[in-house]
Structure 1
């Protein structure tokens, strides 16, 4: 059995069946999102702080120093700074991510006459790209609020007179809406779209293709793969996600942690941000925070996609 014919996406035989499939995708994705947040958020905090600290007067000398000072200044809870935003937003973000991924695969595997066809390998990458574009509109605001809270400690260490403007995610929401209206939460949306579309094509595409390759090697179904195998495929997919687009993530972090008042922003658009970051350190400036990101990639993404895979299998049991 070839990898291309290993799995055929199911055809929704009725509107209700389609809604049930979407609901299952959303529920499984939400469970996966909660798991990746609990496992990966501390590494994300370190990444964002290393990406956004001043280059001329850095607060942290590296990932270990960042972790040490975070715990020293804020306790273990400092590693989970801003975690409320991704936890609260998981249902919306994962609904868009895995709902779109499932729907994209079903759409790509359905012919014009309503019959189904096996997905080819390229289809998984297409589905991942469509998914990344759609999910950016929910992930962007979540990342924006999270990042705004994560960098307050940097500004307080730079300026002893600085008073953190947000005591919670809800306070950040109120102030950004008051300052910029409905567009406030979408600060940094353009680099989020630029990051998510190719990154999710690589991430989700590689995950599906790796599963199929391993299943073909052992002459079994992908649903019969062990948890360790699925976790490994997901971890490798997560690593390729960040290898593909990390410099764009640095641009996104700079724009999302900028002033919420449009008139006071330093990073007004992608070209301006690229020029200013390049001036700070050339190519290396676009890889700040790369170490904690890679450390996080395999376990966090492995846990997430394993959770999604197993919950989906459980929900689809007859």
Structure 2
């Protein structure tokens, strides 16, 4: 019997292995995710930040506010809801630069720590996540310091006006503030308080971002899923916890930073020119308790604001990585 020859079936085309994203693409994705998260945290957390800065910088003698609730009430009474968002244009306008630096530096730090000398990759250890956070905090300080400086200068104007009836605000907007400070100090003007920002940011972000990543890793093992598949409540809980740990670790340094940033823009009139002199002056004003002024609104803000921001960044990053 004659054998029937079946036509050959062509082999399916071989699909090229997906190529890793270029450095620029990774930077762009990290930056976009960070910017979206930064806008979210600013809108949620700025009123708490305004209360924190005003409590931190009000005079020790005849204080304007009796506490966080009193500060909120008086702010609404004197300035309405916009008063809680004083200086918000600075952090909003700066989110692209600050969050781009923060999350692109964090992504790059994790990739660098996860690459061996021969170019092969390895899984990050718990210590690696905290190291990446430390590197990230130091790098991001140079973009965060100017944003915080201009924001703080605008936020404290009401405090000064109530403490001194003769006080007249030298500027009423961030734009005017930039012009005034540059006249005094030139290109160095936005970095008033940079040293305290560095002292705060590096260890704080090591704890903040490191804890967030470690908590996600532990949760993914517990639930038996990849970190990107964790539920929203779990990711937000990790972000909120990281935010609380951030402020518990370094709040006194933040008080020093606020004092330096809200000091006179004229170098000749500054009360707080350096970290040691600022710490000494604040201790003289009220001892240890002086370094925890504004702590309650800060902690109240920490969980919801950071839960929203880190969840947003996490989800946007995973969404972009799938495309």
Which one of the candidate residues 100, 105, 109 is aligned to 1:104? 109
Which one of the candidate residues 284, 305, 310 is aligned to 1:300? 305
Q: Show the counterpart of 2:314.
A: 309
Q: Show the counterpart of 1:7.
A: none
- The SS at the match of 1:116 is coil
Q: Show the counterpart of 1:133.
A: 138
Deviations along 1:200-230, whole A, 9 cap, x unmatched? 0000000000001111111111011001110
Measure, in 2, the Cα distance between the counterparts of 1:30 and 1:56.
Answer: 40
- The SS at the match of 2:206 is helix
- The SS at the match of 1:312 is helix
Q: Show the counterpart of 2:58.
A: 53
Q: Show the counterpart of 1:239.
A: 244
Q: Show the counterpart of 2:199.
A: 194
Q: Show the counterpart of 1:278.
A: 283
Matched, 1:145 2:150: yes
Q: Show the counterpart of 1:184.
A: 189
Shift of 1:22: 1.1
Q: Which runs of 5+ in 2 are unaligned?
A: 1-17
Measure, in 1, the Cα distance between the counterparts of 2:171 and 2:78.
Answer: 17
Shift of 1:13: 6.6
Which one of the candidate residues 252, 264, 271 is aligned to 1:266? 271
Q: Show the counterpart of 2:128.
A: 123
Measure, in 2, the Cα distance between the counterparts of 1:253 and 1:31.
Answer: 26
Q: Show the counterpart of 1:226.
A: 231
Corresponding pairs, count: 306
Pair 1:127–1:13, CA change in 2 (3 A): farther
Q: Show the counterpart of 2:15.
A: none
Deviations along 1:259-307, whole A, 9 cap, x unmatched? 0010000001011000000001110000000000000000000000000
Q: Show the counterpart of 2:85.
A: 80
Q: Show the counterpart of 2:217.
A: 212
Measure, in 2, the Cα distance between the counterparts of 1:146 and 1:173.
Answer: 11
TM-score by length of 1: 0.95
Deviations along 1:122-164, whole A, 9 cap, x unmatched? 0000000000000000000000000000000011111112111
Q: Which runs of 5+ in 1 are unaligned?
A: 1-11
Measure, in 2, the Cα distance between the counterparts of 1:34 and 1:244.
Answer: 24
**Structure 1 moving runs of 4+ over 2 Å:** none
Q: Show the counterpart of 2:7.
A: none
